[in-house]
């Protein structure tokens, strides 16, 4: 387990299979953490899809440097970081507590498949993750760093394991689907082997007939691991199709309340409380 003494809380998100909702949850929770005044970094370390930037309203043509470029030694991490806070203005107008100091810095991945193939062919220095991201967190004065990773342990195995190894918390997203069950158990084992201080589960896309409290208990008993949140399937989110932040578009929707609860649960799990945290 590699973790330097640092004030930033690093949370890596993983799932056994694709499409569980990692990017959606990360982006919306990041926005809500910023709305509490936190300085939040978000890294799109899922280089195979490279689509997190769409959720923050960032067009591919507006991106000059990507996380792929950083790993290939073509630029500094600071060059990749885009301040996407202006995209959250709509959200701040609806928040009971909004703070000037809250910011979201996104390090987008390239959505060009050629860049992903190139990444797979070339080596990169491990220190770019182990030391480089901690340095970035210091430069940007981050409170929280959220890392989106490729689902499962596949092509980007080293990048995923390194991201986990520098994390304070591994958050595994799963659906109530047999296809997710075994892989989730494997990820929990990996988290334990790496000595990650905290491992948390999030259940997403539950059917409307499922009782969330029952689902939470069942999953916690099955995996012996705390569940941070249970998100029901929401048609509005499915229709939005990763084109924007749900919490900005639907501030009064019940699902937005779930995102608020998850942001608070993450904060109380990893970090020091702040004056506005009780205000949701
Ligand atoms: N609770 C939900 N209700 C309805 N739709 C959802 C929900 N959560 C996520 N989705 C939708 O599911 C799709 C997949 O979500 P997302 O891209 O966040 O998953 P992912 O785990 O990041 O996928 P990948 O592994 O491919 O990166 C998106 O269209 C998203 O809008
Ligand atoms: Mg994703």
In a domain, 70, yes or no: yes
186 within domain boundaries: no
List Cα–Cα distances, 100 to 9, 250, 276, in angstroms.
21, 22, 13
Nearest residue by C-alpha to atom 23 in ligand 1: 19
Q: How many domains does the chain have?
A: 1
Instruction: Please name which of 216, 242, 276, 279 lies closest in space to residue 25, comparing C-alpha atoms.
Output: 242
Tokens of 208: 């409307």
What is the pLDDT at residue 100?
Answer: 73
Q: Which residues line ligand 1 (CB under 6 A)?
A: 15, 18-24, 46, 49, 151, 204-205, 231, 233-234, 237-238, 240-242
Q: What is the reported pTM?
A: 0.94
Is 178 domain-assigned?
no
Weakest mean pLDDT among 1-5, 19-23, 43-47: 1-5
Q: How confident is the model at residue 129 (pLDDT cuts 50, 70, 90)?
A: very high
At residue 95 the predicted structure's pLDDT band, cuts being 50, 70 and 90, is low
Within a domain: residue 116? yes
Please check whether residue 146 lies inside any domain of the structure: yes
CATH code for position 76: 3.40.50.300
Closest CA to 237 of 21, 75, 68, 11: 21
Structural domain contains residue 147: yes
Q: For residue 53, what are its two tokens?
A: 């930037």
Question: Tell me: the pLDDT tens digits for 157-213?
Answer: 999 999 999 999 999 999 999 999 999 999 999 999 999 999 999 999 999 999 999
Other CB atoms within a 10 A radius of the CB of residue 6 amount to 16
Range of the domain at 61: 22-166
Residue 262 covered by a domain: no
Would 3 be classed as within a structural domain?
no
pLDDT of residue 61: 93
Residue closest via CA to ligand 1's atom 2 equals 233
Cβ count within 10 A of residue 210: 16
């Amino acid at each position: 387990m590699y973790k330097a003494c640092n004030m930033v809380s690093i949370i890596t998100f993983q799932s056994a299979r694709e499409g569980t909702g990692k990017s959606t949850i990360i982006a919306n929770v990041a926005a809500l953490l910023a709305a509490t005044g936190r300085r939040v970094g978000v890294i799109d370390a899922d280089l195979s899809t490279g689509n997190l930037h769409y959720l923050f309203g960032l067009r591919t043509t507006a991106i000059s440097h990507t996380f792929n470029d950083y790993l290939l030694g073509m630029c500094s991490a600071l060059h990749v970081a885009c301040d996407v806070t202006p995209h959250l203005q709509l959200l701040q107008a609806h928040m009971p507590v909004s703070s000037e100091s809250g910011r979201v810095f996104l390090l987008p991945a390239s959505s060009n498949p050629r860049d992903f193939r190139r990444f797979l062919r070339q080596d990169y220095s491990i220190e770019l993750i182990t030391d480089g991201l901690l340095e970035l967190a210091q430069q940007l004065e981050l409170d929280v760093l959220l890392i989106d990773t490729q689902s499962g342990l596949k092509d980007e195995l080293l990048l995923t394991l390194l991201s986990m190894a520098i994390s304070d918390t591994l958050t595994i997203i799963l659906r109530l689907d047999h296809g997710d069950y075994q892989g989730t158990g494997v990820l929990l084992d990996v988290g334990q082997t790496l000595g990650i201080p905290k491992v948390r589960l999030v259940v997403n896309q539950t059917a409307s007939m499922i009782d969330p409290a029952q689902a939470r208990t069942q999953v916690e008993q099955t995996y012996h691991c705390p569940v941070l949140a249970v998100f029901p399937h929401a048609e509005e989110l499915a229709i939005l199709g990763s084109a924007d932040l749900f919490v900005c578009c639907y501030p009064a929707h019940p699902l937005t309340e779930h995102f608020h609860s998850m942001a608070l649960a993450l904060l109380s799990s990893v970090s020091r409380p702040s004056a506005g945290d009780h205000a949701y």
